[in-house]
Structure 1
Amino acid sequence: MATNGQSRTARRQQKKASKKPLWKKILLWTLIAILAIGISVGGLFTYYIATAPNIDASKLDTPFSSKFYDKDGEQFADLGKKQRTKVEYDELPDVLIDAVIATEDARFFDHPGIDIWRIGGAIVANITDGFGSEGASTITQQVVEKSFLPPDKKISLKVQEMWLALQLEQKYNKERIMEMYLNKIYYGKRAYGVVKAAEVYFGKTDLSELTLPEAAILAGLPQRPSAYNPFKNPELMKDRMSTVLQLMVQHDKISEKQAKEAKQVEIASLLTEDEPDSTPYQAFLQQVEKEVKKNVDGADIYTDGLKIYTTIDTDAQKYVEFLLSDKDDNPINYPEPVVNPKSDEGKKVDLQAGMTVLDTKTGAVRAIGGAHGGLENQGFNHATQIDRQPGSTFKPIVDYGPAIENMQWSTYHQLNDDGPYDIKGSDKQVETWDSTYYGWVTARYALQRSLNVPAIKTFEEVGRQNAKAFAEKLGITFGDKKIKLTDAIGGGDIGTNPLELAGAYRAFANGGIYNKPYTVTKVEFPGSGKTVNLKPEPEAVMADSTAYMITDMLKNVVTEGTGTSANISGLQVAGKTGTTTRPDVNGSPDSWFSGYSTNYTMSIWTGYDNNNIPIDDKFKNVSQRLFKHTMMELSKNIETPDFTKPDSVVEQAVEKGSRPAKLPSNYTPESQIVTELFVKGTAPTETSEKYDQLEPVNNLEATFDNEANAIQVTWEYNSKQSVSFEVSARVDGDEKQKLSSTEETSMEITNVEPGSDYEIEVIASSHESAIDASEPVTTTVSIPEDMEDDEDDEEEEEDEEENNNEQGNIPSVDSLQAKPTASSIDVSWQYNGPPAQYEVVVSRSGSDIQTKTVRSKGIVLEGDGVRPGQTYTITVTPVGQEGANKGVKGLTKSTKTSVPDEADSVQGNSSNNHDGEASD
């Protein structure tokens, strides 16, 4: 009986059918997928083949030279031009053909244009290592690719390449294809084709004269012509030659004995003596090649017939190369070559240099100087390839730039340069070049004088991650290296080069806008009309206030600090010096200067390739002089405006030494007021009260007038304020008595007591009661006893002369006093004894730091020896000058004084051209 219109048996059969095995389902769907993929791939490959270019016989023999254009669109170079000579197959020696086939395509004479076995191996490698990791191109495919197709690594192009290779083999025999290949291939040194290569490297124009080692070299060169350049890298080329010889043995082209004999040949013995001239502007073109290779997949500037539009200013490039030359009229004086300590033969080496010139507004590279003496034949480019410690050129990048950006520091921000800085967890110290420390200084002065301790303290306050992040935005590459404390002064693990450093400094010059320095704006491919634009996009990497404030401080470096050799009269430039030191080198192995105007930015490095060789002190400023001469030349006949202060920055007068910054009061002396830069909204608002007390009088003197029988007192006072002077006196140590109040700067004291000592005191007081009176200033004068008559005078003179000739009667000085100011100590005394001069000894912390001999009864101590917050002992000893007393020392007298810690110990100018780095 049926249920629901279907029998039970039918339902069982349906259920059984629905339980078909799973593997059968998987197999079915797999076959369907493979079929679908096959149809799709077949259709896609058919499309690739249908759109492949036709074989153009005119393009088969000669590679296209790439043309290069300058910043104005004018052609300045044509790589490959005139450096080729055609050869027929019959002129090719068997040894060369065997070497090429063994190296490039062992089954060349057997396959139809593509090699199935090589394709299989390449597919496996591309699956395991990624597409493009291994090629399978035969010689025929290489001819096709270099003749008709762009160099991109795309599946479509690879399909077209194989299709055209099959077609090419139908039209031409193997001999003709081999001939095309050897006429087309690039061998380096601007040599296209094997005939030109043989001439360039071996001086041979007849290929039948090629030896087995020479044939092996020519077979191995095309893989990496620059790297295997036998003139520059003979050892690397020898390894490559050995590889080719071993392949020839493997494919039965030569015997093991022949290979062994060939491997014994020295590469240098095969080469022509006259290495061919290098391409003009090679340092610049090296960077062009690097950028094209990196940004245009598979492009070859030597063979692809590209139109490459560059940023070069050929006039700037020529001048940079001139300054790096050894020509007689070069204004740069380079040192004589020095012995390389790593050379067993005592080989001498030159001081090297690398420099980069950028357009400040765009970041375009205008010139590159790759080496002192000129960069030739793909040599080492010191502007782009070095990785050296940057010294103090790092201070704006990892210290003061991040401090202004992240913490809104002002250029006045106070930092304590208080002595060697102990590195935590180490027994090392960070010092300054002359072991002189300046106490409290402004950030401006610390950067101007390149002081290390303030830089380290700034770095620690900023924080390592903030410092690194700021530097990375400016294009500084860290890789897997961690930023260290010593990187704060450019002496850590992070290295750089002039191209990278110029890019970083340009951001300061350009209002905080950065883009990576570039030499190429666009690349055009022949025939296809394809254009690749390479100009990088600009990016704001810091506030315009940060950029301007760093720039303003760096202008002081050039005018008053460590970079005065780079200063240019009448031109507004900013810059920073940098030198490095290492414990194992007695001197500086690196000297840098990075600087800029509103038009150009440059970075220059000088040093030796062996960084164990120090630079002679007399030549540490070569980097500054290279900057100066280049900037002067490029700035001729063009307007160079000064840097424009943005609205985000304010100028504010502040009182020197105030911590934190305070506004000057109405009574702050002009000499104690400086104008500094603040981020808008952070300028001080509190007014200093330090100078509410009047300044004391200066140059107080008191002398006895014998004829008038009176004391003449004089002093000086430079303030414009309305003041009067209270004059008091103390006789023989008795109680002080007020004598007068006057607005004059002199007075006469009459009715003096014979034989007495007078101490005169003068205090300045204001007519405004709100201002405190000045500190008192005193001086002393002695009044002689009354003289009875001329005879007594004569007897006294005789007695005095007798005393002068009597040894041992030299007394000590009287009234010794020392008065400190912000940056000096005024020492004065009195003396009543035989003629003498005075030995003055200045001590600090128990050690004598200064000794001077003077004839006057006073001396002013100032300069580096006077520091805020320090206590000094001054000892004065009279030394006889006449008769038996000549050279005899009298009794000493001492006094102590302390320089106020509140004074701004160093805010003045200096032009001493030392950099002050102490890098690890």
Structure 2
Amino acid sequence: MSHLMRTSRVFAWIILTGLSVAVILTASLYLYLRPSLPPVEQLLDVKLQTPLRVYSHDNELIAEFGEKRRTPVTIEQIPTLQLQAFLAAEDARFYEHFGVDIKGLTRAAIELISTGSIQSGGSTITMQVAKNYFLSRDRTFIRKFSEILLAIQIERELSKEKIFELYLNKIYLGNRAYGISAAAQVYYDKPVNELSLAQMAMLAGLPKAPSAYNPIADPERALVRRNWILGRMESLGFITSDARELASEAPITASYNARDTDVDADYVAEMARSEMVRRFGDTAYTDGYSVTLTVDSLKQQTATDTLRAGLEDYDRRHGYRGAIGQVDIDGMTAAELSGELANYPTVERLLPAIVTSIDDKNGKVQTHTRALGPTTMAFDSMKWARRHRTESLTGPEPKKPSDVVSVGDVIYVKALSAEQPSEDATTVTQNVALAQVPNVEGALISLNAKTGAIEALTGGYSFGQSKYNRATQAKRQPGSTFKPFLYLAALENGRTPATIYNDAPIVLDNSDLEGSWRPQNASGQFYGPTTLRKGLYRSRNLVSIRLLRDLGIRTTLDYLEQLKIPTNNMPENLSLSLGSGLLSPMELARGFAIIANGGYDVQPYLIESIRESNGTVIYEAPETILCDRDCDALEAQYSSSSENTEPVESAPETVGIILPASQNSESPRIMRKLADTRSVYIMHSIMQDVIQQGTGRRARALGRSDLAGKTGTTNEQKDTWFAGYNHSIATTVYVGFDQPAPLGRGEYGASTALPIWIDYMKVALADTPPSLMPRPNGLANIRINPETGERAHPNEDGVFELFKEENVPAPLTADQLENPSGSAPESFSRQIF
């Protein structure tokens, strides 16, 4: 008996000693680790790694940047069944334990002792929150103990609902999806509240091993885990047996769904992305910023589509350059054909295809594409494909398909419409049309003329093919689209629309122009004495040259600087009158917006607002105020009223068109008047004639009375333009090769750029009333003789012309009234040479 008692005492002391050692070790670990544990309140401030999202003005998604797809949601937005599915899979006793499940840890310890390795971590949802937010993923004892301590601390300070919400927004669920909302989108293309029970259980099975139980990568294994979770949900009383059976029989419907953008606007998306990275660094990709741009989704999509269509139209006019590759298709299977096509990229809507057979008799070509499989191409879609020789020369029109393509050719096609299969057919045959990627490039910019907001912008045919943004980066000669600024300078310096200049040959010997210069009109003809109005709307080069010589090159450059049009790439010789300087399409569009709005400064900008992940607005574009007078006082007023406002970080000149320059985010932008309103109004009148009876006559197809604009074509037709506007919107289109080269015979601004402008403006102006500049005071309508520019005799045919009141033609003298065919006035004879 005494021996038993002694033995019991030994065991008691051993146990007591062990417990003491355990307590001491535990306390020591706690004291060692406690200082390094982060405070729980940091959980509430942690910014989940959420991608940068870019939206249009009307809240359509333009782009998403970032490695991790995540859309945080509140627990109230998640269906109860989805919550129960995660509880069944991960932590059924979540609402009962204090952050640590003793049973789970005991089970994990037994597995470790029996197998010698960690089989399961025994982690609760709270412990996973601690690990995911604060700790490494190393499977070590120290990390596990830290996880336990932090989980207990989290449970003491946060509610169960908040812990569960944090878990569901942080957990990785495979395929770059972080959080339940992103996973619902990636796997099922649905919001989380529209998932079926089977789909909910499938997602709940992912946290344990996102790759092993992935329904896309391993559907069979994922199905087993899904059905196990459904069984657990039934045993826990979350669902009925009938619901379990029905969900268990449901097929796997998961597929990979990358979030589609709503608007094709890669160039503006890149402008926004680069600005956000400039301001916020790499955190721009992870901190969940939402950027709202000024672009309208419909106008932006139209700009993208119309520029591509216009470039394709030009490209077809100049012939077919042939196949992009050749494949020996003998004995190749459909899979092998698709494998060959993997070497050729899809370019926007153009798909690479291999010609598999040619039927000259029926005018059909069979092709194969990766996306559509076997396809049919009718000869009608190939008739444009004259063989390209030069930009001004093509071969004869093809008579049959084999004149264009050969079996094994790799070509580009564009999908048309699907045909219904015949009774004995097993696949649907897709119709396609022959296409090719254009070599020519272009840009379109559309500005709100009164605020400078960019309503649409595209910088080329395909951002995927070329990141070069021609809208903002290309410096090209504007050609005749420069002339309105020269003529506006003339109106500001005493000339009138009735001032006469001679449209006659001229030879200039000037060292700056590298010898003799014999400029001509585009038609090669000369038309004699011409008013400035007709000189502009008919785009007469010789009139413009004589006007610049009369006005003075320095005077003209100074006026351009007054309009804030860059002059650093402008020549100081008479070729300036024909647009030989260099401007980007954006700079030209801004200049036309100044004319469109009545002569006020314009600062183009793209970013309307920036929000943090929690919805807090951290930047908002300032209001625009057009200022006629006392602008200094107005600026001082707003400056003093916002003295305590934190200044907006100033942007370098290279990104000035993205964020508007402003003293701070509260004060408006004061846009000063840069030109006499009367001169601008007269310019509107002249440039409306460009549309009604000049080089922009095609635009009359829009059936509007408020449009004005100017075509432009440079020497050798290397760059072509159309810039047009009404009082509210200014849009500029540019077409040319990246490496300047002639566009070919018959290609002018009216044939390349203007059709794109018309197709865009047809949509941009749809259902909008006419927007005409109000007529300012100080103007007079005077009936003149269009041949002399002087007042018309009562018995003569005359036309009414606009004049500033101080520049009206002198009244007719008594002698002129008696002799209407008298000699021209001195001013006329002086200006004619």
Please identify the structure whose Cα radius of gyration is greater: 1
Structure number with the higher strand fraction is 1
TM-score, normalising length: structure 2? 0.49
TM-score by length of 1: 0.45
**Which structure dedicates a bigger proportion of its chain to helix?**
2
